[in-house]
Amino acid sequence: MIEGLAVGRIVHVKLGGNCRPAIIVQVWADDKINAVCFVDGSNDGLPPGQHTKWFTSLHYSDNHDELNSFHWPERVP
């Protein structure tokens, strides 16, 4: 069980090499999550007017470049 994992928390996912914020919308028993990501519009290659992207069954990883993974937002010094 990952501490603090709950619907409504904000995590990061990687899109095109950049961190993007995503709100957790579902937590599964195996600590995987579904999340809605807020993208940087066409800079992330999405069509005009699409500002979110739904991700499913993301797993936690400290390796932020791992495919289909999420991580907690990095702390700002």
Residues in contact with Zn ion by the rule CB under 5 A: 12, 19
In the complex, what is the shortest distance from the CB of residue 48 to Zn ion, in angstroms, rounded to a whole number?
A: 26
In the complex, what is the shortest distance from the CB of residue 54 to Zn ion, in angstroms, rounded to a whole number?
A: 19
Q: Is 11 exposed, middle or buried (0-12, 13-18, 19+ CB in 10 A)?
A: buried
Beta bridge pairs of residue 2: none
- Nearer of residues 12 and 32 to Zn ion, judged by Cβ: 12
In the complex, what is the shortest distance from the CB of residue 20 to Zn ion, in angstroms, rounded to a whole number?
A: 8
Beta bridge pairs of residue 55: 35
- Nearer of residues 27 and 66 to Zn ion, judged by Cβ: 66
Maximum Cα interatomic distance, the chain, rounded to a whole number of Å: 38
